[in-house]
A = this chain, B = another copy of it.
């Protein structure tokens, strides 16, 4: 087809480009990153690692506690979530241990660590060197040589030295060290730039997410987000994260938002099986749940089900790029679609991002037909045409966009209703029983913090309901569409729940408005009575004061209510 041919021509042009830049040390790392780091594409591994690491560790560019640091304190687990900032060597044992001592002692201390490591490639480098080209893991031989090249460039491996193993001490103390280490002084938790010393290509690809997610003007996401590369920053910049006193709840969010900091959420220690990290379940623990149910949507789709039915016949040991052609794979995995960009597979998983999970984010929906988004849609077409015709792919992507827009519109209609109640100060307890949240959270209508922090009538129930429509039901519906799971946007998740919430909110809106009317009628009766016996008040002004007072003031003086009404009137008049 025409567009397909056009895409192929682009791919061809790109490969030509790759040939032209044959001098690039890491051709899979996008130009945007070299530019952002202000280094040349021919930079040595050492230069690239240094430049990446400098940015990676810079608090001004996203490392560490973030701009709300003053509001929260780490807990003991924090040292494992953000080792750079919080990790300290343990206070025991006293042992000074060398390479082999680690393994020996920990065979008793934490045996499964050691068992897992013994199964890892790290513990079996000599086996890798001996692999025959027929072995599905043969590609690891070249990978090992690349690692050694990196280490040599950084002066960590002699010119003729071979790497013998990657043991405890390499990652937890110093790579390829020959020295002994003091548990109480020298221990570290390996952060991404430690892994990136050897696995520089993957580190650089991952870090390139900061550079390639270049949102157009007017979108509510900062550059490079959402992404794995800045997911910890994304976490600590959330005001309710920083301000809520229940640290162990807040840090539950952190537990997933640590890919910026460490690599072991996808590459679980200490086997670090690449086959494992390619499987869809590797993504499931984090990419699941009430507001980003990728796993539930995917795993219930035909795509996911075929993987779970047939996957045990496929060879997961082949490299990701060979999964379909040599591994026997016939249905998509998470990595199969999201690591791919125009035919190549890298650790930058955000190059085709268009909706970025949350259709309510300002600017996202309006942007979805921009050239920027259309270009990314074309990249999706390339992905889908591995298995589908271009017409099918384009039909479905249009379907996904339109379905998402329908859900957004349903949310927006009812959000206007609730906002109207808020503007009229009619939400329950709004003028009488709505304490401000602690800083850095900021009071306001339908704020994200209300999902995790509440006190008395902040938030009101309607406000939270409409907030959850936008933050939970709508993203879930979009995920259902994106992962081709019909129940995910039609009846079980998405539209069905949005419709239910709409109905409940419209019902309550009618009741609140009616309640206001009843109050007015009572006030009128009271005034007449007073008028009859006292004649002090003017009918119309009393009515307005009370109608604006809102619900929930059972315990308050009528004076407060009147005052609230008064303030609002002043505002409008000014």
Which chain B residues border A260 with CB–CB below 8 Å?
Answer: none
Contact A461 B503 (CB under 8 A): yes
Q: Shortest Cβ distance from A490 into chain B, in angstroms?
A: 3
Contact A80 B395 (CB under 8 A): yes
Please state the number of chain copies in the assembly: 3
Chain B CB within 10 A, most for which of A273, A330, A519, A551: A330
> Taking the complex as formed, is A211 at the interface, i.e. its CB lies under 8 A from any CB of chain B?
no
Chain B CB within 10 A, most for which of A328, A391, A517, A554: A554
Contact A486 B302 (CB under 8 A): no
Contact B300 A389 (CB under 8 A): no
- Checking B247, B279, B462, B499 against A451 with a beta-carbon cut-off of 8 angstroms, the contacting residue is B499
Q: Shortest Cβ distance from A513 into chain B, in angstroms?
A: 3
Contact A115 B454 (CB under 8 A): no
> Taking the complex as formed, is A321 at the interface, i.e. its CB lies under 8 A from any CB of chain B?
no
Contact B386 A507 (CB under 8 A): no
Contact B324 A252 (CB under 8 A): no
Contact A502 B305 (CB under 8 A): no
Among residues of B, the one whose C-beta sits closest to the C-beta of A327 is B115
Which chain B residues border A462 with CB–CB below 8 Å?
Answer: 507
> Taking the complex as formed, is A72 at the interface, i.e. its CB lies under 8 A from any CB of chain B?
no
Contact B249 A403 (CB under 8 A): yes
Which chain B residues border A442 with CB–CB below 8 Å?
Answer: none
Which chain B residues border A116 with CB–CB below 8 Å?
Answer: 330, 387
| A246–B499 alpha-carbon span in the complex (Å) | 12
> Taking the complex as formed, is A162 at the interface, i.e. its CB lies under 8 A from any CB of chain B?
no
- Checking B115, B386, B489 against A111 with a beta-carbon cut-off of 8 angstroms, the contacting residue is B386
- Checking B115, B276, B453 against A325 with a beta-carbon cut-off of 8 angstroms, the contacting residue is B115
> Taking the complex as formed, is A20 at the interface, i.e. its CB lies under 8 A from any CB of chain B?
no
> Taking the complex as formed, is A506 at the interface, i.e. its CB lies under 8 A from any CB of chain B?
yes
Contact B90 A391 (CB under 8 A): yes
Known: A110-B386, A302-B285. A518 touches B519 (CB 8 A): yes
Within 8 A of B (CB), among A515-534: 515-519, 521-522, 525-526, 528-529
Contact A495 B281 (CB under 8 A): no
A–B complex contacts, Cβ < 8 Å, 16 sampled: A5-B93, A79-B395, A90-B391, A112-B329, A113-B387, A249-B489, A253-B486, A276-B310, A282-B305, A282-B309, A285-B300, A429-B507, A454-B502, A462-B507, A511-B552, A521-B526
